[in-house]
Chain A
Amino acid sequence: MKHVLGIVVSLGVLVALDIVLPRLLNPYLFQVLVLCGINVILAVSLNLVNGFTGQFSIGHAGFMAIGAYGSAMFSLEIGQRWVTTLGALGVPPVIAQGAALLVALLAGGALAAVAGYLVGLPSLRLRGDYLAIVTLGFGEIIRVVILNVDAIGAARGLPGIPGWVNFFWVGFWVLIVIVVSRRLAASTHGRALFAIRDDEVAAEALGVDTTSYKVLAFVMGAFFAGVAGGLFAHYLSYLNPNSFTFLKSIEVIAMVVLGGMGSISGAVMAAVLLTLAPELLRPVKDYRMVIYSLMLIVLMITRPGGLMGSREIGWPRFLRRAKAEHA
């Protein structure tokens, strides 16, 4: 009952924000907000792999690209026809588009999850930096393949993707990824992931099926990265393989490490911070990226454990405090 209430309230809040925000913010601020949301999804999903399980993956942009192109192709080939059909049946466009978008995102996410499974497999054999470099290689291979497939636009990019993303859908997936992560962290499965991160040999000795848990982490991380890619595609209406270079993966890793490995709230904060920083630095033009990189170095030197370490902030603490005050 409590859960249902929570879901209804959060969906209600999202719908309200979806109506209010575009009127309050100018298009530029709104775009920054949406990009923040997408980056939060990316950072929190990578946190499942890097932070929770300790498997060092630097190919997240590859999964994002698969999700982006997968869902975009789905919408272009099938989704748009559904929307016209539903529209003809008298369904309001917002709902028809939302439904088509949801299916497209799930399809993109599923495609990325399959890729995550394929990349997760070599992690059975490889450790540490070797695994990292394989994921990096995988991300680059995806990009080069996209560059060479003419059906999805190759180097020209893929234009004309329906722009169905609004604030509701970004917020919806941000909530989903955070809730799933938190639930996972509190569950037996989450403990198993933490055990693998802290000491793989010990975890295995205690009966944790390390292989399937590592693959699970990769699949989940890839799924949400794919969803983030799909949101990105349906927000900008245009995709270019250059959006998914190695630098994008690096950006997401920087968010996870800066937030504090394994900390969900840290990943969220760092994602917002690292999305806003280049925007806030726009007035200094040429010095923008120089300052950004210096900031990264200084933050890493002064706070090597990340902003949050492995701590969390969240409702439980506030609730506990509130209860204590009542008592």
Chain B
Amino acid sequence: MSEFLQQLVNGVTWGSVYALIALGYTMVYGILRLINFAHGDVYMLGAFFAYFASRALGAATDPNPGKALLVLVISMLAAGAVGIVIERFAYKPVRKSSRLSALITAIGVSLLLENGGILVFGSDPKFFPQIITARNIPLGLGVTISNQQIIILVVSLALMFALRFIVLQTRVGKAMRAVSYNPTAAALMGISVDRIVTFTFMLGSMLAAAAGVLVALQNPKIEPLMGIMPGLKAFVAAVLGGIGNIPGAVLGGLVMGIAEVMVVGYVSPTYRDAIAFVLLIVILLVRPAGILGKATAEKV
């Protein structure tokens, strides 16, 4: 029982990271109907930005929460800027062409970030400095949680609530929802679709960067290709929850994280990468639009 609870704690932590990445996928998809394949690589960049920021700030030699927070903010801002640049120079020119050419462009950007990362950062893994001293806290019933896991949970929850606030309570959030619902009508109502798209990319990239930093805290080995698998699985999580649906992305992320940790714990670690997809196929066969997605009838 205690082992199960321990796995559950680990699963929820891991799932909240997936949820953060999945949010970016789902927002971009909701607005542009584009699978942003480069999103996983923005997550990788987030970890690297934090690596350089913490070295520049000396956060490794003198770990304190203030510096760690600053590292997180710097990394999120830098990744947000990268998101804007990617959108402007790669995605905007193909927005009017077919969705497939946009997809191939996204794949091109993803390859560019990965190989550019290898070129700039080197292909060997870097050791992410311990900007928070690790400590284990017993929760009773034989379950322990590390302070890093607590940070992951708290930060991701805070970011999810911030996102919820932006999307539901602010003017720009209202515009995002409008563009997602119908871009043409939104443009006719005086919303600058271009700016909303850019804003969405920035927001998504910031969340991905935060996920990158949080993961690097726990697994301190970072390398330029680290974003491929988490990116792919976070996308699967977004589809699982119903792509384009924000609560769905969080739910999908959690389901995915828990399922994965359980498979590693009880079945075999080697099947870890397969479970995500098995789960996906099973759920999509039962609910073709994802768990929270609404099935849309096709208009003729």
Q: Which residues of A contact B (CB under 8 A)?
A: 50, 56, 122, 125-126, 129-130, 132-134, 136-138, 140-141, 144-145, 147-148, 201-202, 246, 250, 253-254, 257-258, 261, 286-287, 289-290, 292-294, 296-297, 300-301, 304-306
Q: Indicate if the CB atoms of B300 and A201 lie closer than 8 Å.
A: yes
Closest Cβ of chain A to B124, distance in Å, is 14
Contact of B90 among A122, A130, A287, A301 (CB under 8 A): A301
Chain A proximity of B37: nearest CB distance (Å): 8
Contact B281 A148 (CB under 8 A): no
Which 8 pairs across A and B sit closest by C-beta, in order of nearness? A137-B277, A304-B97, A293-B111, A296-B108, A289-B115, A144-B274, A297-B108, A293-B112
- Is there a chain A Cβ closer than 8 Å to B176's Cβ? no
- Whether A246 touches B232, Cβ cut-off 8 Å, given contacts A144-B273, A147-B270, A304-B101, is yes
User: How many Å lie between the Cα of A61 and that of B94 in the bound state?
Assistant: 27
B188: shortest Cβ distance to chain A, in Å?
25
Mostly, the B contact residues are helix
Partner of A125 from B98, B118, B268, B285 at Cβ < 8 Å:
B285
On whether the beta carbons of B273 and A286 are closer than 8 Å, the reply is no
Total B residues in contact with A, Cβ cutoff 8 Å: 48
> Are A305's CB and B101's CB within 8 A?
yes
**Which residues of B sit under 8 angstroms from A145, Cβ to Cβ?**
274
Given contacts A133-B280, A147-B270, A297-B109, contact A253 B104 (CB under 8 A): yes
B284:A126 contact, CB within 8 angstroms: yes
A269 CB → nearest B CB, Å = 16
Q: Mark B231-264, 1 if CB is under 8 A from A, else 0.
A: 0100110010001000000000000000000000
> How would residues 1 to 39 of chain B score, 1 for a CB under 8 Å from any chain A CB and 0 otherwise?
000000000000000000000000000010001010000
Shortest A244–chain B CB gap in Å is 13
Do A148 and B270 have beta carbons less than 8 Å apart?
Answer: yes
B243 lies within 8 A of A129 (CB):
yes
Point out the residues of chain B lying under 8 angstroms from A296, CB to CB.
Answer: 104-105, 107-108, 111
User: Which residue of B has the minimal Cβ distance to A296?
Assistant: B108
| Residues in B whose Cβ lies below 8 Å from that of A56 | 100
Interface centre among A144, A300, A305 (most CB of B within 10 A): A300
**For residue B93, which residues in chain A have a CB less than 8 angstroms away from its CB?**
301
